[in-house]
Amino acid sequence: MQRIAVLTSGGDAPGMNAAIRAVVRSADARGLDVYGVQRGYEGLIEGRLSYLSARRVSGILHLGGTMLGSARSEQFRSIEGRAHAIEHLQEQEIEGLVVIGGDGSFRGADALSRESDIAVVGVPGTIDNDISGCDYTLGFDTAVNTALDAIDRIRDTAASHQRAFFIEVMGRSSGWIAVYSAIAGGATEVLVPERDTNIDELSKRIRQAFEMGKGFCLIVVAEGDDAGGAFGVAKKLGTQLTGLSHRVTTLGHVQRGGAPSMRDRILAAKLGDAAVTALLDGHDRIMVGEVHRDVIHTPLEQACTVGDKTPQDILDLMGRLAR
């Protein structure tokens, strides 16, 4: 293998730049040329590839976002769209592709490899941490720390005004960000997509918390919670909140940006390097992920179908500590 390409796809995540850098530098160290693809699969369909030298990726390690840009591509879902992408890769004599993204991106990568002779390796990059085959995805640690910083600030004002706060964090189908930021932020309640929300029970628990002497109450809500996110929950509680001062805050895309944490930078370095090694060792249609500090390989097919749900033991821990 002489020439590989790298792209970032789906929702951006802090640490993607560090992973691009690791792919380019690790490939350079082994005599491989790397091409960067602009705007994920959209750019691949349009043939937007350019050579990335080791110097070209200087000064990006600590930056959020992705220097290559990202997109959620509708066109790439079709075999015709992927055929254009394959054509452009073949024109540049690219034999291996590193895809940094989430489950949707891996589905695309898996299909591209089946329809061509190009080997693909995935690097899990999404703030949601909802991919099986790794302990953590790139960007999760930074996103939780960002949410936590906001929660700490909200706690100050919630305590001053003896208020209940409904704080919405990201996570359309997974509650990882919600439960980690709730535990680390000392929240009273966490609502996640993996568990049905009982509004009457929730209202009872919030009232009890104040009756038991709590001066304020933080309720962290994942955006994909079945009760409809933080505004939805507050609305459904309606009159059950009468007499309790409360406010709603949505953190939104703030969680996607910012400098990657130390953990995300190290993870990016390990996985970017491991992706190049995997391609050189002849692997195809796999994802590299870190489990208990070891890098393991998981078939892409599995990584993109078996979502990693928030574990019950973490939810139970939250339940025991929130008194």
Spatial neighbors of 124 by CB under 8 A, at least 6 apart, are 102, 131, 133, 134, 137, 138, 271, 287, 289, 303
Give CA separation, 258 vs 6, 22, 48, 74, 139, in Å: 22, 19, 26, 27, 10
Catalytic (active-site) positions: 128
Nearer to ligand F6P, 8 or 26 (CB): 8
Nearer to ligand F6P, 72 or 161 (CB): 72
Residue with tokens 């930056």: 63
Nearest to 167 by CA among 210, 225, 240: 225
Spatial neighbors of 208 by CB under 8 A, at least 6 apart, are none
C-alpha 287/C-alpha 253 separation (Å) is 26
> Tokens at residue 268, please?
């990016």
Nearer to ligand F6P, 121 or 170 (CB): 170
Nearer to ligand F6P, 71 or 269 (CB): 71
Note the residues at the interface with ligand F6P (CB under 6 A).
Answer: 11, 126-128, 170-172, 223, 256
Residue 79 C-beta: closest distance to ligand F6P, Å = 24
Residue 101 C-beta: closest distance to ligand F6P, Å = 9
Nearer to ligand F6P, 197 or 203 (CB): 197
Torsion angle in degrees (nearest 10) through CA of 230, 73, 267, 132: 70
Nearer to ligand F6P, 39 or 256 (CB): 256
Residue 317 C-beta: closest distance to ligand F6P, Å = 22
The helix/strand/coil state of 228 is coil
DSSP 76: G
Strands 49-51 and 119-124: unpaired
| Maximum CA extent, the chain | 69
User: Strands, DSSP E only, in the chain?
Assistant: 3-8, 33-37, 49-51, 96-101, 119-124, 164-169, 189-191, 217-222, 246-250, 286-291, 294-299
